[in-house]
Structure 1
Amino acid sequence: MPEAETVLYVCTTCRREGDDPEGPRAGARLHEEIAKRAGGLRVEPVECLSVCKRPCTVAVASPGRWTYVYGDLDPAEAASIILEGVGAYSGTSDGIVPWRERPKAFRSGVIARIPPFPPVPEAAE
């Protein structure tokens, strides 16, 4: 069975205090920086992840794995941290990276953990 593809969703409408109203929003800047460094990772811009009070926000998902939503990410510095965290996520069978092995920004910035869909069947005893 081929390895499930990991997708990183980046909210491009996230706005941080101090963003230039005429310039690109923080989320768009974050997406651009990640996309430059992503290698083979699928990075998808999304209009809104509805976490406006905790910009910048990303979600990492893969079929059969838990989905995570992270916020409070700095658009100027978070790209390498996010890619490190997504790499750890991709190396798991279920998407659950042990807490101590997550980048610090992922430990403090976790917003949600969403079960796999469709649910993974329980292992036979």
Structure 2
Amino acid sequence: MLEGDLAFATEARLEPGCTIHVCTVCRRQREDLPEGYDQPGIGLAAALSERMAGSGIAVVPVECLAVCKRPCTVALTADGKWTYLIGDLDAGLHLDEIVGAAESFAASANGIVPWKERPVSFRKGVVARVPPLPRTQGSNE
């Protein structure tokens, strides 16, 4: 478990307006580094956690979103809303766009943010849009 995972996971259980899941194991090729790669999701998760503190939007690092060829990847999720999986993000270039998209997603009724209101990185980076789970019978929502 990465340092801080427990704190992120605890925050997520407080029923946030939405949750940003950030893949922390994707490797981005970097010939300038001795290892030949970096793991940009680790920094993105930390930067988002700092920016979203107190916002009602949780940030949860995850070990894999299975989009290894498109690092860095996030998933926007919320109860009763469509889930978006977005790849090819960069913390240095897209942090403000990710924050804005998460705020729009959280404010939406069903998770669908109109195409023209999505940041360019989200328009180009969509990997998948997954429908919400059906409500169970007997749910008082």
| Fold similarity call, TM over 0.5 | yes
Matches within 5 A, 1:34-53: 34-39=48-53, 40=55, 41-53=57-69
DSSP-derived class of the 1:88 partner: helix
1:95 maps to 111
Distance in 1 (CA, whole Å) between partners of 2:127 and 2:16 is 23
**Structure 1 segments unaligned to the other structure (5+ residues):** 121-125
Deviation by residue 1:58-108 (Cα, 9 ceiling, x = unmatched): 000000000000000012222211010011111111000010110110000
Query: Which amino acid letter does the alignment assign opposite residue 133 of structure 2?
Result: F
TM-score normalised by L of structure 1: 0.85
Displacement of 1:4 in angstroms is 6.3
What's the C-alpha RMSD, in Å, of the aligned pairs?
Answer: 2.2
Structure 2 counterparts to residues 1-125 of structure 1, below 5 A: 5-18=17-30, 20=33, 21=35, 25-39=39-53, 40=55, 41-118=57-134
Identity score, percent: 43
CA spacing shift, 1:27–1:4, aligned 2, 3 Å: closer
Using the size of structure 2 for normalisation, the TM-score is 0.76
Mapped to 1, the partners of 2:25 and 2:16 lie a distance apart of: 28
Counting matched residue pairs gives: 119
Helix, strand or coil for the counterpart of 2:28?
Answer: coil
Runs of 4+ in 1 over 2 A off after TM superposition: 19-24
Work out whether residues 14 and 28 of structure 1, in 8 Å CA contact, stay in contact via their aligned partners in 2. no
Q: Is the 8 A contact 1:11 1:49 kept in 2?
A: yes
Aligned residue type for 1:34: L
User: Which stretch of structure 1 is more off in the superposition, 7-16 or 32-41?
Assistant: 32-41
